[in-house]
């Protein structure tokens, strides 16, 4: 193709106009990656290969993990949890996914003028309980107030520090033939929040899966399971986590759709709204890449903790990023990053 | 899950696939009309399970995809007005106009809201008497009754600050356009089940007769689709030409009479431009004279713009069944869901977008 021809088709006016932040820049999909690769990494000079849920720091013979996350969920309370639970468990889970024992959290509150202090107390009480459950201490914090109508009631940022319990847990450690272990059913959090926000009711209410994952990680370590990498399933859900890890490691992955547990109410809601549960957010689920010999034992460890784990697939020997999913008919479809947010369909 | 799992059973789907294999003796080309069917076919890769000589081509049945660029530009202009609360079904927001899209104008400060039902727009209008609420009324016969009901209620309740930007399409004229092309390759149709749930299927009898083409009203689950294909292939092999109803659990011959009554009291049939195909006469719905006060186009007097489609896009060829998405040199390279060059890449139910999503750019 001539240069002229190429120019005419790849240069619509969209490219030339001033880019603005869209909601999808925060949804964990392709737009979020674009922002990281084109804005943050060039400025901060970090390599994208080291990107993980947290940063590994080696200080005076100690191996630490440091991570941060901000919480802007609406509504602040939803079936099964609150912004407070998310703020503690989300950051704890990021540390756990790096193979670290979570120790200390910071907590920054951004509050809107006029926000009900009783409501703040309720959120803080949930945070206290969550921290006790996850065995972390909230040791430092900050409060800022913004003018009325300039925020959404409250936002929370938490940062966390943990000490590495097992080194080498990262995407680069994923091996061909590793089994992909999913810790429980998917999509509860996204559907719980969406149904609360939009006032959608289903026959039975669905509760968010928000919860801590460190105890699962610890149990896998204690039983000597050969874990190579872990990732909690947050924005973008199971599919996005798999696609990101496949891209980071450069190895193809295959999963079996029928092995992925999805609660009937979540499935129903997804059918109704035209959403793919593989892309719906969780807040207390993870995938772990374990050595193929350890699959059965890893399953029984997580079953012992009362969750509903499954082996959903494996890392294939093929190089190159690609995640495929076996349908109930035995055919294969590709899973890819979502371009923007999942949007409910017309029909 | 009841009403889903029965239609995603590999045993039953397999039985129909074997039947198709057994009864088909020569090549047949069948078009599924609806984007929802295309989506399911590509998601479950049904084409790969069919005998090689049964060829599926994908029809123009994605309302998001066929909405004209001019209408999207008009929607964007109206949404950008400071007094307007602009409401739409979710998947219209990402559709690119000539210069921008609704998600981007939202980021620049426009009040753009995703609704699940047009009736919510009525509530918003009542709650915001000082603002103008505009609903983007896009779709086939499926969404028309709810929009008709909204407008009718607005008129009866004298809610003056709501209007609709209408771009409704009718499916049968598009099927006729496909059949009347001198290059037509389609030998049988899977008609769109949800459209027929509203409309019934009497209106397909003349098409079936005039073009001597079997039409099977078909649902959207994998089992629906393979059963629809089986019925269609059986007609073709036996030399029969009929309208059959595979989707009887949802579709009645006479349709939903209440919904039809509402539609017919508010809308009249008009000519409509289909993106990627062009103007098809009597293929759209517009507001009747007595409801025209709710027409956003006349209320906001937005400048009429003419737009130009990408010369490289072969969407007209794809939506009429002449070519497949992977036959296009732009597919997955210059044309992606993020930067679509034409109609079928725009929404997940467009054929190109479904191929891109489930088969990857490598296909």
The pair of structure tokens assigned to B292 is 């025209």
Q: What local confidence, expressed as pLDDT, does residue B2 receive?
A: 73
**Lowest-confidence region among A225-229, A269-273, B237-241:** A269-273
A271 CB neighbours in chain B (<8 A) are 4
Give B179→chain A minimum CA distance, Å: 25
Counting one residue from chain A and one from chain B, the pairs whose CB atoms sit within 8 A come to 117
Looking at per-residue pLDDT, the higher value among B100 and B24 belongs to B24
Q: What local confidence, expressed as pLDDT, does residue A293 receive?
A: 96
**Mean pLDDT across chain B, nearest whole number?**
93
Band of the pLDDT at A272, cuts 50, 70, 90? confident
Query: Is position B278 within any domain?
Result: yes
Q: What local confidence, expressed as pLDDT, does residue A346 receive?
A: 55
Given a cut of 50, is residue B5 above it in pLDDT? yes
Count of structural domains, chain A: 2
If you measure CA to CA, which chain B residue comes closest to A276? B43
Query: Is position A88 within any domain?
Result: yes
- A62 and B CB contact within 8 Å: no
pTM for the predicted model, two decimal places? 0.86
Give B240→chain A minimum CA distance, Å: 30
Q: Which of B63, B140, B312 sits opposite A9 (nearest CB)?
A: B312
A273 CB neighbours in chain B (<8 A) are 116
Identify the burial level of A14 via C-beta atoms within 10 angstroms of its C-beta, where 0-12 means exposed, 13-18 middle and 19 or more buried: middle
Q: Are residues B75 and B142 in the same domain?
A: yes
Positive or negative, the Cα torsion across B147, B148, B153, B156? positive
| CATH code where residue B70 lies | 3.40.50.11740
- Give A116-161 pLDDT, tens digit per residue: 999 999 999 999 999 999 999 999 999 999 999 888 899 999 999 9
B225 CB neighbours in chain A (<8 A) are none
Residue A212, domain extent:
171-335
Q: What local confidence, expressed as pLDDT, does residue A103 receive?
A: 98
Given a cut of 50, is residue A16 above it in pLDDT? no
Given a cut of 80, is residue A53 above it in pLDDT? no
Given a cut of 70, is residue A315 above it in pLDDT? yes
A322 CB neighbours in chain B (<8 A) are 360
- Work out the percent of chain A whose per-residue pLDDT is above 90: 69
- A298 and B CB contact within 8 Å: no
Q: Are residues A103 and A249 in the same domain?
A: no
| CATH code where residue A316 lies | 3.90.650.10
- A2 and B CB contact within 8 Å: no
**CB distance A197 to A74 below 8 Å:** yes
- Work out the percent of chain A whose per-residue pLDDT is above 70: 90
B89 and A344 within 8 Å at the Cβ level: the answer is yes
| CATH code where residue A141 lies | 3.30.1330.10
Query: Is position B146 within any domain?
Result: yes
A271 and B194 within 8 Å at the Cβ level: the answer is no
Q: What local confidence, expressed as pLDDT, does residue B101 receive?
A: 87
Looking at per-residue pLDDT, the higher value among B129 and A41 belongs to B129
Q: Enumerate residues 21 to 40 of chain A having a beta carbon within 8 A of any beta carbon in chain B.
A: 21-24, 30
Given a cut of 60, is residue A2 above it in pLDDT? no
A25 CB neighbours in chain B (<8 A) are none
Given a cut of 90, is residue B343 above it in pLDDT? no
Of residues B61, B94, B59, B54, the one with CA closest to residue B75: B94
CA–CA gap between residue B208 and residue B188 (Å, rounded): 9
CA–CA gap between residue B104 and residue B98 (Å, rounded): 13
Q: What local confidence, expressed as pLDDT, does residue B304 receive?
A: 67
- Give A284-308 pLDDT, tens digit per residue: 999 999 999 999 999 999 999 988 9
- A20 and B CB contact within 8 Å: yes
Q: Are residues B89 and B148 in the same domain?
A: yes
Q: What local confidence, expressed as pLDDT, does residue A6 receive?
A: 33
Count of structural domains, chain B: 2
Q: Are residues A98 and A245 in the same domain?
A: no
- Give A196-243 pLDDT, tens digit per residue: 887 777 767 899 999 999 999 999 999 999 999 999 999 889 999 999
Q: Are residues B71 and B128 in the same domain?
A: yes
Q: What local confidence, expressed as pLDDT, does residue B357 receive?
A: 86
- B171 and A CB contact within 8 Å: no
Cα pseudo-dihedral B111, B112, B118, B124, rounded to 10: -20
Residue B327, domain extent:
315-358
Given a cut of 90, is residue A11 above it in pLDDT? no
Band of the pLDDT at A51, cuts 50, 70, 90? low
CA–CA gap between residue B311 and residue B329 (Å, rounded): 13
């Amino acid at each position: 193709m001539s240069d002229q021809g190429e120019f005419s088709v790849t240069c619509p006016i969209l490219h030339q106009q001033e880019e603005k932040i869209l909601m999808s820049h925060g949804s964990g999909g392709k737009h979020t990656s674009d922002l990281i690769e084109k804005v943050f990494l060039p400025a901060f000079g970090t390599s994208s290969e080291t990107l993980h849920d947290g940063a590994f720091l080696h200080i005076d013979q100690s191996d630490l993990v440091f991570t941060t996350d901000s919480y802007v969920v609406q509504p602040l309370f939803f079936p099964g949890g609150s912004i407070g639970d998310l703020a503690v468990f989300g950051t704890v889970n990021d540390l756990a996914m790096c193979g670290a024992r979570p120790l200390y959290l910071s907590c920054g509150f951004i509050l809107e003028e006029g926000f009900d202090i009783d409501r703040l107390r309720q959120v803080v009480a949930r945070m206290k309980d969550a921290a006790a459950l996850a065995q972390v201490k909230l040791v430092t914090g900050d409060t800022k107030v913004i003018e009325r109508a300039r925020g959404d009631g409250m936002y929370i940022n938490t940062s966390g520090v943990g000490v590495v319990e097992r080194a080498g847990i990262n995407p680069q450690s994923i091996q061909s033939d590793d089994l992909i272990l999913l810790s429980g059913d998917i999509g509860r959090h996204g559907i719980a929040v969406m149904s609360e926000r939009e006032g959608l009711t289903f026959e039975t209410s669905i509760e968010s899966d928000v919860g801590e994952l460190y105890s699962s990680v610890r149990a896998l370590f204690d039983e000597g399971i050969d874990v190579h990498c872990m990732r909690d399933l947050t924005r973008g859900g199971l599919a996005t986590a798999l696609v990101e890890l496949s891209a980071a490691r450069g190895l193809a992955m295959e999963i079996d759709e029928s092995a992925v547990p999805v609660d009937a109410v979540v499935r129903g809601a997804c059918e109704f709204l035209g959403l793919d549960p593989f892309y719906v957010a969780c807040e207390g689920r993870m995938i772990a890449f374990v050595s193929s010999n350890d699959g059965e034992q890893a399953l029984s460890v997580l079953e012992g903790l009362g969750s509903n784990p499954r082996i959903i697939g494996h890392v294939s020997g093929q190089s190159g990023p690609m995640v495929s999913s076996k349908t109930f008919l035995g055919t294969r479809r590709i899973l890819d990053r979502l371009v923007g947010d999942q949007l409910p369909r017309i029909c | 899950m009841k009403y889903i799992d029965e239609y995603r059973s590999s045993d039953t789907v397999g039985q129909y696939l074997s039947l198709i294999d057994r009864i088909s003796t020569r090549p047949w080309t069948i078009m599924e009309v609806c984007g929802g069917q295309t989506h399911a076919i590509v998601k479950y890769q049904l084409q790969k399970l069919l005998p090689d000589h049964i060829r599926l081509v994908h029809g123009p049945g994605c309302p998001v995809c066929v909405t004209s660029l001019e209408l999207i530009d008009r929607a964007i202009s109206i949404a950008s007005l400071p007094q307007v609360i602009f409401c739409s079904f979710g998947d219209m927001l990402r559709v690119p106009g000539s210069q921008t899209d609704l998600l981007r104008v939202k980021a620049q400060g426009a009040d753009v809201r995703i609704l699940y039902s047009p009736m919510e727009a009525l509530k918003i209008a009542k709650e915001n008497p000082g603002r103008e609420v505009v609903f983007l009324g896009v779709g086939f016969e499926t969404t028309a009754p709810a929009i008709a009901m909204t407008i009718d209620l607005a008129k009866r309740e004298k809610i003056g600050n709501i209007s609709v930007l209408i771009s409704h399409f009718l499916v049968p004229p598009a099927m006729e356009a496909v059949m009347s092309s001198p290059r037509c390759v389609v030998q049988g149709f899977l008609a769109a089940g949800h459209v027929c749930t509203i409309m019934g299927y009497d209106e397909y009898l003349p098409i079936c007769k005039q073009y001597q083409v079997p039409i099977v009203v078909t649902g959207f689950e994998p089992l629906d689709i393979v059963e629809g294909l089986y019925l269609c292939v059986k007609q073709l092999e036996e030399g029969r030409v009929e309208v059959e109803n595979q989707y009887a659990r949802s579709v009645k011959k006479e349709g939903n009479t209440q919904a039809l009554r509402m539609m017919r009291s508010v809308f009249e049939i008009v000519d409509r431009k289909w993106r990627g195909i062009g103007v098809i006469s009597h293929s759209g719905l517009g507001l009747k004279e007595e409801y025209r006060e709710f027409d956003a186009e006349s209320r906001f007097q937005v400048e009429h713009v003419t737009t130009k489609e990408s010369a490289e896009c072969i969407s007209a060829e794809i939506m009429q069944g002449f070519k497949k998405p992977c036959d296009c040199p732009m597919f997955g390279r210059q044309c992606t869901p993020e930067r679509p060059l034409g109609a079928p890449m725009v929404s997940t139910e467009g054929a190109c977008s479904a191929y891109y999503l489930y088969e990857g750019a490598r296909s």
